[in-house]
Structure 1
Amino acid sequence: MSADPRRQVPRTDTLLADPRLAAAGERLGRGLVKGAVQRVQQRIRDGEVAPPQAVEAVLASLPGTASSLQPVLNVTGVLVHTNLGRSPLSPAAVDAITAAAGTTDVELDLSTGRRGPRGEAAIAALLAAVPAAEAAIVVNNCAAALALVATALGQDRELVLARGELVEIGDGFRIPELLTATGARLREVGTTNRVTLADYRGALGPETGAVLKVHPSNFVVRGFTRQVEVGELAAALAGTGTPLVADVGSGLLRPHPLLPEEPDLQSTLAAGADVVLASGDKLLGGPQAGLVLGRADLVQRLRRHPLYRALRVDKTTLAALEATLRGPLPPVQEMLAADLDGLRARAGALAARLTEAGLDARAVDADARVGGGGAPEHPLPSAAVSLPGSFAELLRRGTPPVVGYVEGDRTLLNLRSLPTSADEQLAGAVLAAAAR
């Protein structure tokens, strides 16, 4: 009878009373720790864990936080990887979120004791970064910004949009479906590959709410094509009272030498757009947010619309956005600026260390990508560590998970998407995977 494993399983209340697990319960929540205890008890019944090791097994299985999200090492070579949370935040932005997580003065003027403007400092930082804008607001993502514009300017009216810009982006999300869901009517102009200024002019009428330009982002049409640039379209709309709204997508503040065809906020406004929309968590390198900048009267109209209240961001997003704009370069900007020789040196050092440990590791050249729909035709030169193909799954299942990609029969760990400070952690993860 004494050999029956069911009689050797420690009681739940006994394990939860252990000081180490009690402390974990205070940090993570008693329910989460109790669930881990029950799983370890089953492992004891299955003969996988010895009863005296129960507490250590529970502690080893507990996550670092009460959230199920895990930090991941991104060596996909995709800088803005949607499945991995897009742009990593800068340390300054993380500190700002921590400071804003408690009780803050987000809507209180401490000098008067009265209600103050929400997010004023973040908006000021955004306007300082994009001086062509007269005013700005922030909502929870770029799709929300587009929905707000379509509702405020196009509900029961027409939005004029080139047929070639009726795009679908990630996870089956289609721009025309979003726009028509707001009650706006779409007036498509041109053909899939060609649109002219005359097409836009012919579509304008008393029912026109706005002309909308959407940057295709994740695809390019080549060959017999024609599109109307923002400056040309803005000049044609001058004096008509019809606003020109441009969704530039990626959140690039100003032109970048590595991304010559990627539209930016400052240049688009300077070219004559009345309102521009962009994401905050792509090339800007900040938190998820929809940025709306442009003419003061139009931005104020959007701010006063009832839908804005449902779409506005919280205090932590405002804090992170301000810190991203005012603080040091965010990680995605550092990744863009990474020197190819430096990337090759990192790959060579990592490969040499892994080879010394007996692994089949090589340093190779590779291409990286912006990701998030940005600059689809502009690969970024990079360097990677090449390992046998079986490492892809082993690394994903490790702690921390490492996400690379398979090319042919090799697993590539592309270093442009990984901060230099994480190289040591990457080496340890690879060695741990090899040991398994």
Structure 2
Amino acid sequence: MAQLRDLPSVHELLEDPRGRLLAAEHGRPLVLFAVQRALERERQEGMVAESGRRWADVEDQIQALRRPRLRPVINATGVILHTNLGRAPLSPEAAAAVARVATRYSNLELDLRTGKRGTRHDLVSDLLCHLTGAESAAVVNNCAAATLLMLAALAKGKEVVVSRGELVEIGGAFRMPDVMRLSGARMVEVGTTNRTRVEDYQAAITPRTAAILKVHASNFKVVGFTESPQLPALASLAHAHGLLLLEDLGSGALLDTGEAGLASEPTIQQSLEAGVDLVACSGDKLLGGPQAGLLLGKTSLVAQALRHPLARAVRVDKMTLAALAATLDLYLRQAPTPVPVWEMLRSTPADLAARARQLAERLVAAGVPAETRESTSTAGGGSLPGEQLPTTVVAIIATRLTPARLIDRLRAQDPPVIARIEADRAVLDPRTILPDEDEPLLRAVIAAVR
């Protein structure tokens, strides 16, 4: 039996033909690290490994460090704006726009007409203003940042009146009262959880009040005995007292969701037309673009926000702006193939049923028992809470695996498939499976079941 004194030296392994091949592919420093780890493991175990096993260990160490962490996955959950899966998938046009600027210099902050320094917000502000009717617009890294910047720039040290029913919490335990506190504004709660009237806002106004804040309940519903004033009434109240009406709109829709047979989600245009002075919303929810926060409204207020020191801390990069501009261009020209989020929202039950049947038939032909069932999808991502979209799912009948175990095995495939469990079956919802993902999906399911 080999003794620890028989362990080869690090130098010997690096000079071994296999070591040289690995160094050529992965770089000598990384191979050196992996060899040292492999030898240290043998010392700790008190056992000299067979050469083949040692080299397998070295390669495992290398692959553990080199494997991609951020990977494409197939979303078969039926949740369109799945926060854990990156929310809105970009359109091909937006992805191409990112690729064009990612590896090259760009005019990010250069005015090509004058040769002088420009502002990155100008790259998209005219598009946003044209589509929404806003006087001016700016882009930051998410909606929470947009709301924080808005409050810090316009209401720090002053009172902001908000309904108790709108003190929302979004993902990751991020709460509106926390945003208000961090901005330096003093939150004044009015009304009750389910009923707030214009008179409640009016009674809370003092000489220290700077603004009324409206927060769209984008990730929950309050139903039953409820009341909430409409935006025009709040705008009239705010402006009569020389105050600002600010809004955290959340999902940032540009199109009427009612046209897709869903409940109407308020649009950016509607908020601005109703008299809101400055709107904050997301770019990666119902707008269907990259992660971004939009500020839209009066020119003087947008300029004031951009002068605040926080604006630099939350600014976006050239790739976000490229993707956002390309996404907005699809709305501008009313492209026949819209952003993927809207394709998914508008998918008809008949089309989804046909696609589910085709997937199920191909699985059965490959020896994987499967059937179709009627079910529902959701918008997700803090949009259209409670709305159920009719769909047809593919239920996989894996007799040797529990649904939970099958879900795990699907997630371990390449690419990973993220599915859900429904009625004691692992199911695949075609609504969120992209058009070019059928083949890799089928291969992954067959491999997971077998």
| Closer, same or farther: CA 139–17 of 1 in aligned 2, 3 Å | same
Which amino acid in the other structure matches residue 400 of structure 1?
A: P
Question: TM-score, with normalisation over the residues of structure 1?
Answer: 0.89
What root-mean-square deviation, in Å, do the aligned CA atoms of Structure 1 and Structure 2 show?
Answer: 3.0
How far, CA to CA, are the matches of 2:263 and 2:30 in structure 1? 49
Contact 2:2/2:48, CA 8 A, preserved across alignment: no
Q: Give the structure 1 partner of residue 389 of structure 2.
A: 380
CA positional deviation for 1:238: 3.0
Q: Give the structure 2 partner of residue 358 of structure 1.
A: 367
How far, CA to CA, are the matches of 2:285 and 2:433 in structure 1? 16
Q: Give the structure 2 partner of residue 123 of structure 1.
A: 125
How far, CA to CA, are the matches of 2:449 and 2:226 in structure 1? 51
CA positional deviation for 1:369: 0.6
Contact 1:73/1:403, CA 8 A, preserved across alignment: yes
Deviations 1:299-336 (A, max 9, x none): 11111222211111111111111111114522112111
How far, CA to CA, are the matches of 2:197 and 2:371 in structure 1? 51
Q: 1:348 aligns with which of 341, 347, 357?
A: 357
Q: Give the structure 2 partner of residue 237 of structure 1.
A: 238
Which amino acid in the other structure matches residue 273 of structure 1?
A: V
Contact 1:164/1:194, CA 8 A, preserved across alignment: yes
| Closer, same or farther: CA 89–36 of 1 in aligned 2, 3 Å | farther
Q: Give the structure 1 partner of residue 112 of structure 2.
A: 110
Task: Give unmatched runs, 5+ long, in structure 1.
Answer: none
| Closer, same or farther: CA 392–297 of 1 in aligned 2, 3 Å | same
Which amino acid in the other structure matches residue 118 of structure 1?
A: R
Local SS of the residue matching 2:378? strand
Contact 2:256/2:267, CA 8 A, preserved across alignment: yes
How far, CA to CA, are the matches of 1:114 and 1:334 in structure 2? 41
CA positional deviation for 1:47: 7.8
| Closer, same or farther: CA 111–363 of 1 in aligned 2, 3 Å | same
| Closer, same or farther: CA 223–38 of 1 in aligned 2, 3 Å | farther
Contact 1:127/1:134, CA 8 A, preserved across alignment: yes
CA positional deviation for 1:188: 0.7
1:129-148 map, 5 Å? 129-130=131-132, 132-148=133-149
Matched, 1:272 2:275: yes
Q: Give the structure 1 partner of residue 96 of structure 2.
A: 95
How far, CA to CA, are the matches of 1:425 and 1:138 in structure 2? 36
Contact 1:254/1:267, CA 8 A, preserved across alignment: no
Deviations 1:262-294 (A, max 9, x none): 111111111111111111111111111110101
CA positional deviation for 1:2: 8.3
Q: 1:412 aligns with which of 427, 431, 449?
A: 427
Q: 1:297 aligns with which of 294, 300, 308?
A: 300
Local SS of the residue matching 2:80? strand
CA positional deviation for 1:240: 2.4
CA positional deviation for 1:58: 6.2
CA positional deviation for 1:399: 1.3
How far, CA to CA, are the matches of 1:408 and 1:166 in structure 2? 35
Matched, 1:337 2:338: no
How far, CA to CA, are the matches of 1:333 and 1:21 in structure 2? 47
Matched, 1:401 2:416: yes
CA positional deviation for 1:8: 12
Task: Give unmatched runs, 5+ long, in structure 2.
Answer: none
CA positional deviation for 1:242: 0.8
Q: 1:319 aligns with which of 319, 322, 334?
A: 322
CA positional deviation for 1:112: 3.5
1:281-296 map, 5 Å? 281-296=284-299
| Closer, same or farther: CA 32–211 of 1 in aligned 2, 3 Å | farther
Local SS of the residue matching 1:292? strand
How far, CA to CA, are the matches of 2:30 and 2:223 in structure 1? 54
Contact 1:33/1:62, CA 8 A, preserved across alignment: no
Aligned length: 427
Which amino acid in the other structure matches residue 368 of structure 1?
A: S
Contact 2:121/2:137, CA 8 A, preserved across alignment: no
| Closer, same or farther: CA 221–55 of 1 in aligned 2, 3 Å | closer
CA positional deviation for 1:52: 11
| Closer, same or farther: CA 62–238 of 1 in aligned 2, 3 Å | same
Which amino acid in the other structure matches residue 158 of structure 2?
A: R
How far, CA to CA, are the matches of 2:385 and 2:295 in structure 1? 24
Local SS of the residue matching 2:264? coil
CA positional deviation for 1:189: 0.8
| Closer, same or farther: CA 150–75 of 1 in aligned 2, 3 Å | same
How far, CA to CA, are the matches of 1:59 and 1:91 in structure 2? 36
| Closer, same or farther: CA 66–412 of 1 in aligned 2, 3 Å | closer
